[in-house]
Amino acid sequence: MSTGPKNQSKPAVVVSGDKELSLIVQIAGDASIKEVAERLKKAGHFVERELPISGVIGVKGAEADVERISRMPGVKFVKIGGSFYAS
Protein backbone atom coordinates (compact mmCIF):
# COMPACT_ATOMS: atom_id res chain seq x y z
CA MET A 1 0.00 0.00 0.00
CA SER A 2 1.43 3.37 -0.97
CA THR A 3 1.86 5.78 1.89
CA GLY A 4 2.60 8.77 -0.33
CA PRO A 5 4.47 11.84 0.74
CA LYS A 6 2.78 14.15 3.22
CA ASN A 7 5.19 16.98 2.62
CA GLN A 8 4.89 17.90 -1.05
CA SER A 9 8.09 19.93 -0.95
CA LYS A 10 10.00 16.67 -0.64
CA PRO A 11 10.39 14.30 -3.56
CA ALA A 12 7.86 11.51 -3.79
CA VAL A 13 8.73 8.35 -1.95
CA VAL A 14 8.57 5.42 -4.32
CA VAL A 15 7.06 2.42 -2.68
CA SER A 16 7.61 -1.11 -3.89
CA GLY A 17 5.34 -3.44 -2.01
CA ASP A 18 5.76 -2.33 1.57
CA LYS A 19 9.33 -1.24 1.12
CA GLU A 20 10.44 2.31 0.58
CA LEU A 21 13.33 2.47 -1.84
CA SER A 22 16.39 4.59 -1.25
CA LEU A 23 19.37 5.40 -3.33
CA ILE A 24 22.66 4.45 -1.77
CA VAL A 25 25.26 6.99 -2.76
CA GLN A 26 28.87 6.11 -2.11
CA ILE A 27 31.08 9.16 -1.95
CA ALA A 28 34.60 9.30 -3.37
CA GLY A 29 37.42 8.67 -0.91
CA ASP A 30 38.62 12.27 -0.84
CA ALA A 31 35.16 13.88 -0.82
CA SER A 32 33.41 15.45 2.14
CA ILE A 33 30.18 13.68 3.02
CA LYS A 34 28.73 16.97 4.29
CA GLU A 35 29.48 18.73 1.03
CA VAL A 36 28.01 15.95 -1.10
CA ALA A 37 24.94 15.81 1.14
CA GLU A 38 24.48 19.58 0.78
CA ARG A 39 24.83 19.26 -2.98
CA LEU A 40 22.11 16.62 -3.03
CA LYS A 41 19.82 18.73 -0.87
CA LYS A 42 20.34 21.76 -3.08
CA ALA A 43 19.40 19.59 -6.06
CA GLY A 44 16.08 18.95 -4.32
CA HIS A 45 16.73 15.48 -2.98
CA PHE A 46 15.72 14.19 0.43
CA VAL A 47 18.82 13.00 2.25
CA GLU A 48 17.67 10.24 4.55
CA ARG A 49 20.95 9.24 6.18
CA GLU A 50 24.54 10.44 6.21
CA LEU A 51 26.92 7.65 7.20
CA PRO A 52 30.43 9.11 7.40
CA ILE A 53 32.28 5.95 8.49
CA SER A 54 30.85 3.98 5.62
CA GLY A 55 31.09 6.89 3.19
CA VAL A 56 27.44 6.44 2.27
CA ILE A 57 24.51 8.79 1.88
CA GLY A 58 20.96 7.51 1.66
CA VAL A 59 18.62 9.47 -0.62
CA LYS A 60 14.90 8.80 -0.64
CA GLY A 61 12.79 8.89 -3.72
CA ALA A 62 15.43 9.71 -6.32
CA GLU A 63 15.43 6.53 -8.40
CA ALA A 64 14.81 8.50 -11.58
CA ASP A 65 17.90 10.59 -10.93
CA VAL A 66 20.47 7.84 -10.57
CA GLU A 67 22.40 8.91 -13.67
CA ARG A 68 22.43 12.59 -12.71
CA ILE A 69 23.48 11.90 -9.12
CA SER A 70 26.22 9.50 -10.21
CA ARG A 71 27.79 12.37 -12.19
CA MET A 72 27.80 14.77 -9.23
CA PRO A 73 31.21 15.85 -7.92
CA GLY A 74 32.30 13.74 -4.97
CA VAL A 75 30.07 10.80 -5.90
CA LYS A 76 31.80 7.51 -6.67
CA PHE A 77 28.97 5.02 -7.04
CA VAL A 78 25.19 5.00 -6.85
CA LYS A 79 22.76 2.15 -6.64
CA ILE A 80 19.15 1.59 -5.74
CA GLY A 81 19.14 0.03 -2.33
CA GLY A 82 17.63 -3.43 -2.13
CA SER A 83 16.66 -5.65 0.75
CA PHE A 84 18.48 -8.22 2.82
CA TYR A 85 16.85 -11.09 4.58
CA ALA A 86 17.43 -13.10 7.72
CA SER A 87 19.51 -16.07 6.63
Partner 1 sequence: MAESESESERAREIEAAHEPLIIPPQPTGRRIITFQPGVARTDIVKMVGKATAREPVTVNSAGSMFAALQQVGATDAPLVLERFGLAVVGGGVESANNAASMLANLDEVADSRPEFWLFALAGPPWSDDAQATWGIHAVDPRGTALSGAGIKLAILDTGIDLGHPDFIGRPIVARSFVPNETVNDVQGHGTHCAGTAASAYLGGGNIPRYGVARGVHLHVGKVLNNSGSGRELDIIAGIEWAIAEGCEVISMSLGRATHPTEAPDPIYERVGEAALEAGSLVLCASGNESDRRYNYIAPVGSPANAEAMLAVAAIGADAGVATFSCGGVGRGKVDVCAPGVAVFSSRPRPELYRKLSGTSMACPHAAGIAALWAESDASLRGRKLWKALTNAAIPVGGLAARDVGAGLVQAP
Nearest distance from C-beta of residue 85 to partner 1, angstroms: 5
Provide the 8-state DSSP code for 72: S
Which of 9/87 has CB closer to partner 1? 87
Q: Which residues bind partner 1 (CB under 8 A)?
A: 19-20, 22, 24, 26, 48-49, 51-56, 58, 76-77, 79, 81-87
Rounded CA separation 7/16 (Å): 19
Q: Residues with Cβ < 8 Å from 51, sequence gap 6 or more?
A: 33, 57, 58
Nearest distance from C-beta of residue 57 to partner 1, angstroms: 9
- Strands ordered across the beta sheet of 46-51: 46-51, 56-60, 22-27, 75-80
Which of 43/77 has CB closer to partner 1? 77
Nearest distance from C-beta of residue 68 to partner 1, angstroms: 19
